[in-house]
Amino acid sequence: AIQGGILSGEITNVLLLDVTPLTLGIETFGGTFSPLIPRNTTVPVKKTEIFSTGVDNQTGVDIKVYQGERGLVRDNKLIGNLKLSGIPPMPKGTPQIAVTFDIDADGIINVSASERSSGQEKSITVIANTGLTEEEIQRLVDEANANREQDNLIRQRMELMTKADIMVSDAEKSFKQFEKLISIDPEYKKLNKEVQYLRDQITRFKKDENDTLIDVNDVKKRTDKLQGNVFKLFQRVTNK
């Protein structure tokens, strides 16, 4: 998955888009919707944003293109999907993946993704049609307005837990890789227990993100604290 833009799937050369004054964007890490072209934007228009990977040594990403006004992709319409492969293995957050939406005067949309260090690039064309009526467009906009506060809350919770998930995954990987070295530290068992607790909370959240009994702010605070304590742990054992 790409952080700020999840990626995976086969390419379809030409796709039909219901041309509407609705926002166009892509799915980002955690299932959130990242808009690139706001609704009612005058065409022709071209917009590029930079994303990156969310996993170490990721060599391929899926760009899932959505149309809609909601904060989560599950509530919007998937209109295109392209896979960008051949990305050189690098630490997460290092690759620079440029996603470009280029809409011409006829409403034909070209979506492309390129990784800057390797020059790898893929694109799809979305041909506009008039599949939605004005009434249907207005209904979607009204639904987005009515659910905006709840959507924003869910999105914020998902973003916090996604960041926590990445940091906990890093800790788990480091603890497994250097277990013999760090297990002698007096704080190791305590920190390992905290990692397990946070993993349980994240797993529980993934099963039901609407579970309000999960305090995502507490999880984020504890994860930030864990990250600092793990760094100190490695400092201690390497300085001995």
End-to-end alpha-carbon separation of the chain, Å?
38
Mean pLDDT rounded to a whole number for the chain:
86
pLDDT tens track for 140-187: 999 999 999 988 888 889 889 988 998 999 999 999 999 999 999 999
What is the pLDDT, as a whole number, of residue 131? Answer: 63
> Residue 121 phi/psi, 5° resolution?
-150, 145
Give, in order, the Cα–Cα distances in Å from 20 to each of 77, 81, 137, 143: 12, 19, 7, 16
pLDDT tens track for 122-131: 999 886 544 6
Pairing of strands 24-28, 60-67: antiparallel
Nearest to 71 by CA among 4, 150, 139: 150
What is the pLDDT, as a whole number, of residue 8? Answer: 42
